[in-house]
Structure 1
Amino acid sequence: MPNQAEGLYGSRARMVSVASGKGGVGKTLVAVNLSVVLQERGHRVLLFDTDAGFANAEILMGVTPKFTLKDFLKKKVGIEEVIFRTPYGVDLISTGMDVEDLITFNVEDKGRVVNELRKIGEDYDYIIFDFPPGFNEQLERFYLSSDHVLVLTATEPTALVNAYTFVKILVLKGLEPVSFHVVMNMVKDLREGRKVVEKFSSVVSKFVGVNFDSTHLMKFEPLVRESVARQIPFVVLKKTSQPSLAIHGIADRITNKIVAKKLSFIERVKLLFGMG
C-alpha cells in the first residue's frame, strides 16, 4: 500500500529544521517526539542529529548508534551502517561532530556524503534536523531552504529575547524560511502562556515583519522529566498528555500545509556541507 505522503508530496523528503535561540528549552525533545508522531502517522522519517556535543537525541530515545557520519567520512563504514533504526520506527543519523567540523572536510569527502544521501533521501517523507542552539552562520542557507523551521523558546525573558534575536537575524540576512512556527515549552499556566506567546508573536510581527504560521504551547509536566529519565519519548509514555497533544498539533500543521519547494533534497544537503 503506497505511503499517503507519496501521493501528496511526491518522492522528495520535506525538510523540518528544529532550532532555538538558546539551549535548555527542549529543542531536542520536540525533534525526537515529533519524529515519532510523524512515523506513527505512516510517514517515513529520518532524524538527523547535528548537536554532537551532547547526542541528546540518542539519549532521549535510549539508543547508541554504533557508527556516526564521522565514521563514514573517515571511510570506516558505508552510509547504510550510519543509519540507525530506532525502536520507534524512526531512522537516526548522528553526525558524531559539530556542524562546523562537517564544513571543514574536503570537497571529495563531502561529495561522497552527498552522493550517498542522494540515494537514501528518496526513501523518506520527512527529514528532521535537530540543530545546535543559537544562530549558526554555517547554516544560513540551510535555514532558508527548509520547508519548516520550528523555533523553540520558553516563557522566561532570556529565552524570549534569544528566540526574538534568532528570528530577527534570519530575517535581516534574508533567510526567512518557507514556513515559520514557534513552540513555547515548559509553560506552567496555559492561559498565561497563551498571552505570552501572542505578545511574542505580535512583537515579532511588528518589529521584524514575520507572521508565524502557527504557535504552540507545551505545558510543564513531570511526565516529560520521567520520559527523559526512562529514555522513552513522552508521546509513547502517555499519548493524551498535554505535551503529547501539543506535538500532534505541530504535526498537524506541518503535514497539512503544502509548501512550495525552493530546492530539491540533494541541493539542500549540498548547502549543509557548504557546497552550494
Structure 2
Amino acid sequence: MSIIKDQAENLRKTFSKNRTKIILVTGGKGGVGKSIVAVNTAVNLAKMNKKVLIFDTDAGFANASILLGVSPTVSIKDYFDKKLTLEECIIKTPYGIKLLSTGMDIKDWISFQKNFTRKAIEEFFNIAKEHDYVIIDVSAGYNENLKPFYIAADNILLVTTPEPTAIVNAYTVVKALSILEVDGVVDVVINMIRKRSEANTAEQVLRKTIKEYLFKDIRNVFYINFDHLVHDSVKSQTPISSFKPSSHVANDLMIIAEKIENTTSEHERKNSDNLLKKLLLLFGFYNR
C-alpha cells in the first residue's frame, strides 16, 4: 500500500498546479464531421496562443493528418514497436498545434488495439500536462479501449447531424457513457444543418437523453450550418478556419473554441487539480 501512496504523492506533486483541459470529441456514427470539429477547434484554440495537442485515436482511419495537410512519417505504432519514444511520435503542423496519430493502416489498428496499455496512457498524460488543451478525436460510437479518456475528459463534444440515424447513434453513445459515470461537461455540436427546425428537434431529443442517462444538462449546443466550403477545404487539406476564416461556417467553428476557452464551469472552479484526480482515478489511486 505504501508503494501506491508514494506513487500517488509523486503524481500529486507533478500535477497539482496543472490546468490542462482534456476535450474528447465523439459522435454516434461516421460522416457527421467529428474530425472536422476536432481539428478546427484545435486550430482555433492555437490562434488564441494556446498550446494544443490533438490525439487522433481512430486507428486505421485516422484522418486528422489529412485535414491538417501533413503526411506523418511516424505514428504511435513506432512507439509500440519500441522504435521511438511517445514524444518522438508527435508531429508538428503548420497551424501551431501538435498531432499524435494512430496511423491509417490496418496494421496500425491491430497494433493500437493490442498495445494501448495503462503504461501508454500514463506516458500520454505525462505529455498532455505540457499543453493547455488536449483534444482527443475518438472513433465513432463507443470504444472500450478508450474508456480512460472518456472518464478523464473535462469536456465531451458530442457531434451529430440532424438526420434521424445520426441522432439515434448519438443516443446510443450517451447510454454507453452513462455506464462510465463520466464527470465531464457535455456540449452538443449539431453539424451540417440545412433546416433550423430539424436542428431544434435534434437538440430537444439529445437534451432529454443526456438528462435521463447522464443526469446532467447540456452546457452548450453549437449549430454549424451546411456549407460546400467545408468540402472544398477538405479537398485542399486545409482546415476551414484557415481556408476561409471569414465564412459563416468558420465563424460557427470559432464560437466553439471561444466558448471552451472563455467558459469555466462551477465544477472546474472547484477542481483546479482536475487532471490530477482523474489521473489518480485512471491508475487506481483514487476512488469516486
Question: TM-score normalised to the size of structure 1?
Answer: 0.83
Residues 140 and 175 of structure 1, relative CA distance in 2, 3 Å threshold: farther
Structure 2: how far apart are the matches of 1:218 and 1:114? Answer: 33
CA distance in 1, matches of 2:30, 2:200: 23
Q: Are 1:192 and 2:197 an aligned pair?
A: yes
Aligned counterpart in structure 2 of residue 264 of structure 1, from 261, 276, 282: 276
- In structure 1, distance between residues paired with 2:116 and 2:224: 41
Residue 3 (structure 1) aligns with: none
Cα distance, 1:106 vs structure 2? 8.3
Matched to 2:60, the amino acid is G
Residue matched to 1:5: none
Distance verdict in 2 for CA 1:206–1:118, change over 3 Å: closer
- The answer for unaligned runs of 5 or more in structure 2 is 1-15, 284-288
Partner of 1:211: helix, strand, or coil?
coil
Q: Describe the superposition over 1:93-129 as per-residue Cα deviations: whole angstroms up to 9, x where unpaired.
A: 112333x74353386xx63x45644553332000000
Name the aligned partner's letter for residue 158 of structure 2. V
Identify the match of residue 208 of structure 2 among 203, 208, 213: 203
Residue 233 of structure 2 aligns to which amino acid in structure 1? S
Q: 2:132 aligns with which of 120, 125, 129?
A: 125
Partner Cα distance (2:132, 2:211) in 1: 35
Q: By how many angstroms is 1:91 displaced?
A: 0.3
Amino acid at match of 2:91: F
CA contact (8 A) 2:93 2:99 kept: yes
1:104 corresponds to: 114
The letter of the residue matching 1:20 is G
What secondary structure does 2:136 align onto?
strand
- How far did residue 178 of structure 1 move? 2.0
In the alignment, the residues of structure 2 paired with residue 245 and residue 82 of structure 1 have an alpha-carbon distance, to the nearest angstrom, of: 32
Are residues 1:246 and 2:256 paired? no
Question: Matched residues in 1 for 2:274 and 2:51: separation?
Answer: 21
Structure 1 residue ranges without an equivalent (≥5): 1-8, 272-276
Q: 1:267 to 1:202 in 2, by over 3 A?
A: closer
Q: CA shift at 1:11, angstroms? A: 3.5
- Give the whole-Å Cα distance in 2 for the aligned partners of 1:238 and 1:68: 29
**Which segment is superposed worse, 24-33 or 133-142?**
133-142
Per-residue CA deviations over 1:194-247 (Å, capped at 9, x if unaligned) read 422432244325643441111011111011000000000001112232222222
Match of residue 12 from structure 2: none
Shift of 1:10: 4.7
RMSD: 2.6
Alignment correspondent of 2:153 = 146
Counterpart code for 1:30: V
Describe how 1:34-73 pairs up with structure 2 within 5 A. Answer: 34-73=41-80
The percentage of counterpart residues that share the same residue type is 37
Deviation at 1:168, TM superposition (A): 2.0
